[in-house]
Amino acid sequence: MCDKMSSVIIQCFLFLFLLVQCYRLGGSHKVYPQKNIHSQEEIEINLTFSQYSCDQNFLSVAIDSSEIKNKWRGFDFSSQKLQNLAHALSPAYIRIGGTDADFLIFNPNELTEAENEMSYKPVSNYTGLKKDEQEFTLTGGVWRNMTHFFQYVGWDVIFDFNLFLRKKDLWDPSNASSLLSFSEMNGINIAAFQLGNEPNSYEHNFNFTISPSALLNDLKTLRNVLNDHPFYRSSGLFGPEVTNLGNRAGSSTYLKQFLEAGACDVMDYISSHHYYLDGRTATADDFLNPQVLDTLKTSVETARTIMRENNCPLPLALTETSSCYGGGAPNLSDRYLAGFLWLDKLGVTALNGYSRIFRQTFYSGHYALISSELEPNPDFFLSVLFKKLVEGPVLTVVKQPEKIRVYANCANTAFYPQGSIVIYFLNLRDTPVNLSLSQFADLKTDVYLLTPGDSDGLKSRFVKLNGNLLVLSGSELPPLPPRTVQGVISLEPQSFGFAVIPGAKASICIK
């Protein structure tokens, strides 16, 4: 009995001794989980060569033609708040187009209340179209109000004409001429035009086809019509508006045949659309998946290859693009999470020489920059920062660390001295990262780090800039100040943003 009790006492003593030693040696030190340890990645930027450049209109916006059909529900042109939100993205192009563009009829006259109620008419004169498709009317008064608003906030209009107005398989330009005559008489500037929307999908969507060569002939007709209106002789033409290149075989074939028919002698921009995902099935993980992000690279490479093979030097444009088609993914496309796809898209397209990227949309839908209540979504502030910081020659980042994406550009000289450079970055990792730029180690850096705005995390409806929540004060936008650091740039897990080096004195960024 005594021996057993002695053994228990000794074991207890040893246990207490070991416990005390553990506390003395390590218990007083805070132990961090592995994921909070910052890894460090070296970034190097090539400052000796630039193949492409971004102008002030590179990031532009779109509003779907369906908003005209829906009588601009909730979009109050006289709202000071709306005007301030729109002006924050100027200068920019505004594309008015989309599926409903091919059902829009312009009427310069104001409609009576009864006529307005009857302005939606079933399509009956287009062979092959579904019988339940409906035409709708854009009146001269609404057109004046729209374009006055766009001019006031600093947006240049691109208008998509109805391609389904046809006679004997030829486009009928009479309704377009009506809009042009009215616009010319009212001094309405229209920077460029389109004709139709996603023609490679007509057969699938409407049981109706227009070949690439027929479309080009129709665009030649449009060019002749523009030449008959002196006010619009210098307006540009965008086309053919095909869907995801490289991911849909039909769109690539359509573009090839369009160029082979002689499009480079007629058009001013070669344009396509791009979405990463189906809004009905997209998941949060998709928005952080490098393979999903890389589908854009496939589209870009396909477009550049087709252009090169056809010896076409025209600029490329994405005239309709966002995260998910079908109006976006609810609680994803309008949340903080969407910024990863949007910022990467801006970086990839700038690096590959695209001249215009039109965000679908400024207003309405889950993928909009502002909500139907006129509240900015996180991508709005991301877009404002991009417009503020990025302009001029596009620079090359020598290497891309795994699940870290970094792009570089000369900085906007309206806000920073000539020679400044800006990098923009995505940290797709769930761990913090330090970005090190040894070539600028002794220089101060202005950091604009964007993180989720509340406890909803990646699905937050809000966004913080350097830890400060970005919200409007009445109708006024909040200030967007940087945080100045020297040395490494610390990125929080799954964050993105910008870093400007004002003292870089990069000769390539000095005009």
Catalytic center residues: 198, 320
Work out whether strand 39-42 and strand 433-436 pair parallel, antiparallel, or are unpaired: parallel
CA distance linking residue 350 with residue 392, whole number of Å: 10
3-state secondary structure of 243: coil
Pick from 461, 456, 299, 245: nearest CA to 366:
461
Cβ 93 vs Cβ 155: under 8 Å: yes
Q: What is the DSSP-derived secondary structure letter of residue 314? A: P
3-state secondary structure of 49: coil
- How many residues belong to the chain? 511
Full strand arrangement of the beta sheet holding 489-491: 39-42, 433-436, 489-491
Cβ 408 vs Cβ 391: under 8 Å: no
CA distance linking residue 226 with residue 236, whole number of Å: 10
DSSP string, 74-123: T--TT-HHHHHHHHTT-SEEEEEESGGGGGEEEESSPPPHHHHHT--EE-
Q: What is the DSSP-derived secondary structure letter of residue 118? A: T
CA distance linking residue 361 with residue 348, whole number of Å: 20
3-state secondary structure of 274: strand
Pick from 400, 403, 431, 406: nearest CA to 350:
406
